[in-house]
Chains A and B, each alone.
Chain A
Amino acid sequence: GAGVSQSPSNKVTEKGKDVELRCDPISGHTALYWYRQSLGQGLEFLIYFQGNSAPDKSGLPSDRFSAERTGGSVSTLTIQRTQQEDSAVYLCASSFSGTPGELFFGEGSRLTVL
């Protein structure tokens, strides 16, 4: 497809388990973002990749969260030792240097930690 693809769309896990969420950005987009959408909390910025530059990790809530982007394309967000407060929809977005701030979002990965 031509849009941002995220997998899995839904993930239910037990507290303490590790999870990996995947994002396939639009081909050619140099920037990739991860946001978290929690009920009543809006969109919370997590991490930002731009080309080959060092990622902006300033939004990661704890050291249990990490992300990588391989080959400037696919990104994986990893949450270790999941907690119930990690339950949220994790949204990935990508952009190119076209319309400023036009982020193309995927449909998100809904994580539920029991």
Chain B
Amino acid sequence: GEDVEQSLFLSVREGDSSVINCTYTDSSSTYLYWYKQEPGAGLQLLTYIFSNMDMKQDQRLTVLLNKKDKHLSLRIADTQTGDSAIYFCAEGVSGNTPLVFGKGTRLSVIA
């Protein structure tokens, strides 16, 4: 069945780069996503990548996709205290079908 795995915790110093990793199992996944959940709030889409892409960059965010290894990563450059949150990796097959989420990685940024 579908499964998305990610490490549960990551701690970095302010100004350093953060790299959050994720592996997924469904080879038919069309889209891979990163969602961010700030304390007491719902999830918010951060970025996504089509499965036929290797990389996507959006300001401080870089998403890398290794489709062969089913590995997705999110790099946050110049990490700030405001980046402290839980980051969820998710996969989807098409359009509006339900996404499968990982358990989330709690990123702590130390000033």
Contact = CB atoms under 8 A, between A and B. Distances in A.
Interface of A: 4, 30-31, 33, 35, 40-43, 45, 48, 50, 56, 59, 91, 93, 95, 97, 99-103, 105-108
A108 B100 contact: no
A105 B31 contact: no
Interface residues of B, number: 25
B111 interface: no
Nearest to B33: A101
Nearest to A89: B42
Interface in B19-44: 30-31, 33, 35, 40-44
Contacts of B42: 4, 91, 93, 105-108
Contacts of B41: 107
Contacts, number: 64
Contacts of A50: 96
Given A33-B98, A106-B42, 11 more contacts: A45-B99, A50-B96, A93-B42, A97-B95, A100-B94, A100-B96, A101-B45, A101-B48, A101-B99, A102-B45, A102-B48
Contact of A40 (B33, B94, B103): B103
Nearest to A91: B42
Contact of A42 (B94, B95, B98, B102): B102
A33 to B, nearest CB: 6
A41 B103 contact: yes
A103 B45 contact: yes
A45 B92 contact: no
B35 to A, nearest CB: 8
26 contacts: A42-B88, A42-B103, A43-B88, A43-B101, A43-B104, A45-B99, A45-B100, A45-B101, A91-B42, A93-B42, A95-B96, A97-B96, A99-B45, A99-B48, A100-B48, A100-B95, A101-B31, A101-B45, A101-B48, A101-B90, A101-B95, A103-B35, A103-B43, A103-B45, A105-B44, A108-B42
